[in-house]
Structure 1
Amino acid sequence: MDTPVILKTYYKGKVKEYFAMPEGELHTDLGVIKLEELRTKSFGDRITSHLGIEFVIQKPRAPDLFAHAKRSGAPMMPKDIGVIISNTGLCSSDYVLDAGTGSGILAIYLGGIAKKVISYEIRDEFIGIAQQNMDLAGLSNVELRHGDIVAEIQKLDERFDVITLDTGDAPAVIPHIPRVIYSGGFLAVYSPFFEQTKEIRDALGKTDFTEVRTIETLEREISFTERGTRPATARVGHTGFITIARY
C-alpha cells in the first residue's frame, strides 16, 4: 500500500496510535518502525518496531483525520458535523458548496459521502494546510478554491444540493444562495455566538427558505469505573449553533 495508515497498539493498558505514510522511519517511545515495510502489507496486518512491539495497520477514516490532521484553527467538532449530515440527508449523489474551509475537516467528512464538494477559503495559508489534509484523506472529489465567498457566490454558474457555511460573513452570503441551490436543497450554517446566529436567522427571514430551525448539540461521555457509572467530568459543552434551512 502507498496510502496513509493508522498504526495502533495496546501498551500497558493504554491505546497508542500513530498516523503515518509508508516512507522513512517513525520514531516512537515504543521503538522505531521502518515504514517502507507498509508497502508489502495490507490493512489488518501487523508491523513490528525494533523493540518488538506489534502495531495493527488500520485504514484511516474521517475521525482519524480529525484527530491527526494539521490544524489552522479550531475545526468544527464531529458532533456538529453529524448534525449537518443527518439534517441535510447528505448522500452520494449530492453536489456540495462549502465556505470557510479552514483546515478542511468538515470538507473531509462531506467528501467522504457526497459526489462533489467545492470549498472556498479566503486565507492563502489555510488553503495550503487544507490541501495537505485532503491529500492525506485521499479524496479526489473535494475541490479547494481560494476566494471571498461573498463575492464568489455572485459569479457561480453551478448549483448545489447542500450548502454549508462556517464563516462570519454568512449573513451576507445568504441572500445569494437561492440562485445556486436546487429546489429542495438544504443550507446549514455554523455560528458560535447568539448574536451571529440572530443575524443569520434575520437574513433567512428575508428569503424563501422554509423549515428553518437552529440546533445546539451538547455531548456527554459516560465514565465506567469500579466506583460507578456517571457522566465524565471532562466533556465537550457548547461549541456552536447549527441553523438548518430548506429551499
Structure 2
Amino acid sequence: MERVKENDTVILFDPEKKKKYFLNLSLAKGKFNTDRGEVKLSEIVGKPYGSKIETHKGFSYVILPVSIYEFIMNKLNRLTQIVYPKDAGYILLRLNVKPGDTVVESGIGSGALTSVFAQAVGENGKVISYERREEFIKNALSNLRKLNLESRVEVKYRDISEGFDEVESADALFLDVREPWLYVDKAYRALKTGHFLGILVPTVNQVIETLKELKKHPFMDVEVSEILLRKYKRVPERLRPEDRMPAHTAYLIFARKLPEDVRIEWEE
C-alpha cells in the first residue's frame, strides 16, 4: 500500500465540486487552507493514498498522488514554452529511454521534458541538462523538486557551443534549441553508436536546415513527424470530438547514430 511521504506533492480532491488542490508537503507551512476549512499537513503524511482527510469544519478530501502529466499541465511554473505530454511520450519511445540510462538534453526550459526523462531513467539513471540561462535553471529545478526528481538531474550551466562533456557515453540526446543544426556534430560525438538523437523545432524552416546538417553525418532511421491529439466529449449518447483541438506544437526529428566509417543514402 503506497503511503504519503513528507516531501510528496499530493492532490486533495473535492468530490462534490470535482476540484483538485495541488499541495507540496515539503514546501507548505504546517497547514493548508481551503474554502472548506483547514487541513493539518502532519495528518496527511503516512496516510495511504486514496484515504480521506478532514478539515477542521468536518469536510473530507480524498488524498491522491500527482501524475507528471497533471503536474505539467496544471502546476508547472512556466518561464518558457514547454514540451507537451502528447509529444513527450513519443519522444521517450523514439529515444528508447529506459531505467539506468544517461540522457543528455539542451536546454532545460521549464523542466517539463526533463521531469519525464528523470522519471523514465529511474533512481540509477541520470539526466544531464545543459542550459545557459540561470533563471531557467532555478525555475526548472524548483519544478523538479516538487516531483522528487531533482536528485536524478545534473545541470551544466553553459552554452553547448562549447560542446558536450560526454564522449560516446549518452544513451540518448535531445536538442530543444533555436538552431539545432549548429550542434549536430557535437551531439554525434556525445552519443553512443546505435543510439538516438532527438530534436524539437517549431517551424518548417528549422526542419529543413536540420535535415541538411544531418545528411553530412553518419545517421540512419531519420524521421520527421508531428503529433496531433484529438479529445472527445465524454457523453455516451452523443459521442463526438471536442470543439477545440490542441494541434501543432512542434516538429520532431529523430536519427540513429552510425559508426563514422558507415555512410548510407536516406530513403526518400
TM-score normalised according to structure 2 size? 0.85
Q: Which runs of 4+ in 1 moved over 3 A?
A: 10-13, 155-158
The whole-number CA distance in structure 2 between the counterparts of 1:177 and 1:245 is 11
The whole-number CA distance in structure 1 between the counterparts of 2:45 and 2:102 is 34
Structure with greater strand percent: 1
Contact conserved, 2:108 with 2:130, CA < 8 A, in 1? Answer: yes
Which residue does the alignment assign to 1:108?
115
Q: How does 1:24-173 map to 2 (within 5 A)?
A: 24-66=30-72, 67-114=74-121, 115-139=125-149, 140-153=151-164, 155-157=165-167, 159-173=169-183
1:176, distance to aligned residue in structure 2 (A): 1.5
* Residue-by-residue CA offset, 1:151-173 (whole Å, 9 max, x unaligned): 242x5446201001111131111
The whole-number CA distance in structure 1 between the counterparts of 2:7 and 2:51 is 14
Which residue does the alignment assign to 1:4?
8
1:13, distance to aligned residue in structure 2 (A): 5.4
Which residue does the alignment assign to 1:234?
244
Would the alpha carbon gap of residues 141 and 20 (structure 1) be closer, same or farther in structure 2, given more than 3 Å must change? closer
The whole-number CA distance in structure 2 between the counterparts of 1:226 and 1:156 is 52
- Consecutive unaligned residues of structure 2, counting only runs of 5 or more, are 258-268
Contact conserved, 2:13 with 2:64, CA < 8 A, in 1? Answer: no
Would the alpha carbon gap of residues 59 and 11 (structure 1) be closer, same or farther in structure 2, given more than 3 Å must change? closer
The whole-number CA distance in structure 1 between the counterparts of 2:96 and 2:166 is 24
Would the alpha carbon gap of residues 40 and 91 (structure 1) be closer, same or farther in structure 2, given more than 3 Å must change? closer
- Consecutive unaligned residues of structure 1, counting only runs of 5 or more, are none
Aligned sequence identity (%): 29
* Residue-by-residue CA offset, 1:54-77 (whole Å, 9 max, x unaligned): 222223332133121221122110
The whole-number CA distance in structure 1 between the counterparts of 2:182 and 2:163 is 12
The whole-number CA distance in structure 2 between the counterparts of 1:57 and 1:217 is 33
Contact conserved, 2:14 with 2:60, CA < 8 A, in 1? Answer: no
